[in-house]
Amino acid sequence: MKWITRERPKIDRIACPWLIKNFVDKDATFFYVPKDQVFEKAMELDAIPYDIPGAEYSHYHVECTFDFIIHKHQLTDPALLQIALIVRGADTDRFDLAQQSAGLWAISAGLSYNYANDHEMLELGMKLYDALYSWAKYVPQEKHTWNPNL
């Protein structure tokens, strides 16, 4: 499948490709175009628009596009549900939802500042979400234990 969204991705527009490639369609390809060209280019490329108002794959009520993909594709992995909460908090400015949300937003904004090429940013972001998934799946209870004052 081909997927298309707005250029200059941040939270959802990096998290969703990671989710799609890992749990929906490993052969998916992604396109980033100017906002006003998303639907026109979607028709030309036979691509699914996402994370833009008017697309099926978008925000609904208080949930973001990452949440929609989880529901639409009936993904039930508890680690994904934990990541969904973090992504939702970061993508909707609700840092109270998960303590990791503010950090994810900061890293995403920094990536966007450091990389002008959207696909280069996506490549780095995929590794970031791989690490977040590993944390949520295998070591969510692990804490920092070194304290020099003890």
3-state secondary structure the chain: CEEEEECCCCHHHHHHHHHHHHHCCCCCEEEEECHHHHHHHHHHHCCEEECCCCCCECCECCECHHHHHHHHCCCCCHHHHHHHHHHHHHHCCCCCCCCCHHHHHHHHHHHHHHCCCHHHHHHHHHHHHHHHHHHHHHCCCCCCCCCCCC
Q: Considering the chain, what percentage of its residues have pLDDT values greater than 90?
A: 93
pLDDT at residue number 150: 66
| Mean pLDDT of the region 23-31 | 97
Which tens digit of pLDDT belongs to each residue from 132-149?
A: 999 999 998 888 787 777
Residue 66 · residue 23 · CB < 8 Å: no
**Confidence check: pLDDT of 100 > 90:** yes
**What's the confidence (pLDDT) of residue 142?**
81
Quick check: 45 pLDDT over 90? yes
pLDDT of residue 143: 81
